[in-house]
Amino acid sequence: MDTLTTRPSRPPQEPRATYGAPESSPCIAGIARRDRRSTAPRDFASAWTQWRAHRMSGSRPLARSTASDYDSMYRCYLGPYFGEMPLDDIDARTIGDFQIQMRASGVSAVRYGKVVVPLRACLRWHFRNGDFPHDTSYWFDKPAPPADERKVLTFQEVERLLAALPAYYRPLIEFAAYTGLRLGEMLALTWTDIDLDEGVVHVRKAMDRGVVRMYTKTKASRSVGLPANLRERLSQWRRQCPPSAAGLVFPLPSGGAIDPSALRTRVFKPALLQAGLDPSFRLHDLRHTAASWYVRAGATVVDLMRVFGWTQMQTALRYIHMLETPTLLADRLSDSRRDHLRENELSRGVESDRGREAELR
């Protein structure tokens, strides 16, 4: 991975914590009171260290995989460019210059979009705390791409992909395509989370680098329905699934937890090539695929939010663009009208028959 070397950097140092409390405040004994003058960051490196420590604490700390990604982004891009820079010297022009240099050095637009996520979050947090003088709301004007620009597969392409996979991993990939669960959520599933009789999977936890978190990304559980083809596949898989200590639905043949990186590189990517599909298609794109299928099947925005666990309506609204409007919506309205009138005619016919029977009596 190429790195930026325009500006010198130094590795961020862990902030020193102090403990104790004023004698007049016994209720907070053992908790340090922050001295803003001594702890306010002077450069981006110290600002990053404080923000990262904040994000790794609290009720919803960063997932270990996400923290590792952010650390990599700091080492390769953010640290070399911003590390020694005084925090007060960072402004909109600085961010613009950073973007130009990133693109000039061969970094893709997609990669740049991912790198600015922690950069933006770090600066916004310090602005809210009063340590950074600028509101960055308009510095990172990069909207997410509409859903119809994301890679999705058709039903036929998914079948080709499944046929190209090793038989052992077909249940997992088919499950991903038809439920839209995140990979970490699927790897943490146990058989107690799946009700095959009702056709429902209860999503309550997620796997993060081999460790099960007892909450999902949005810290909210949800239930997702299982299509008939998937219920049949899971019924067969349950009889073949290797035993594991936790009762995992998708374990390794040895019973251990599947490594996401190995799954992507050793199983998923070779299957894409063998199936003749776009090699840049990601395992996470099966989630987009499932969302597109739900929309075309008539799901509403609220339906999408419930099934996929999204808390922001805007996320679900992106997928509505995948409808071939306005003609498709008009066709659905016509179908609804026809069905309603047909039911009304049948109802009136039944009432008429009953009336004639009453007259005969």
What is the dotted CATH code of the domain comprising 26-129? 1.10.150
Nearest to 107 by CA among 77, 80, 79: 77
End-to-end CA gap in the chain:
89
- Angle, helices 155-164/170-179, rounded to nearest 10 degrees: 160
What Cα–Cα distance (Å) separates residue 159 from each residue in 215, 268, 277? 32, 14, 11
As a three-state string, the secondary structure of 212-264 is EECCCCCCCCEEEECCHHHHHHHHHHHHHCCCCCCCECCCCCCCCCCCHHHHH
Q: Taking the CA of residue 240 as centre, how many other CA atoms within 13 Å lie in the half-sphere pointing to its CB?
A: 12
Please tell me whether residue 86 adopts helix, strand or coil conformation: strand
In angstroms, the CA 66 to CA 260 distance is 13
Cα dihedral across residues 295, 298, 302, 304: positive or negative: negative
Q: Would you kindly state where each structural domain of the chain is located, as residue ranges?
A: 26-129, 149-320, 325-353
| Per-residue pLDDT at 314 | 75
Q: 316 falls in which pLDDT band (50, 70, 90)?
A: confident
The two structure tokens encoding residue 208: 């993060």
- How many Å separate Cα 252 from the centre of its chain? 23
Predicted confidence (pLDDT) per residue in 329-353, tens digit: 566 667 777 877 888 777 776 666 6
Nearest to 163 by CA among 307, 260, 275, 79: 275
Average pLDDT (37-48) is 83
Indicate the fold that domain 149-320 takes in CATH: hpI Integrase; Chain A (1.10.443)
Q: 188 falls in which pLDDT band (50, 70, 90)?
A: very high
Q: 28 falls in which pLDDT band (50, 70, 90)?
A: very low
Q: 267 falls in which pLDDT band (50, 70, 90)?
A: very high
At residue 150, does pLDDT exceed 60?
yes
Supply φ then ψ for residue 188, to 5 degrees. Answer: -90, -5
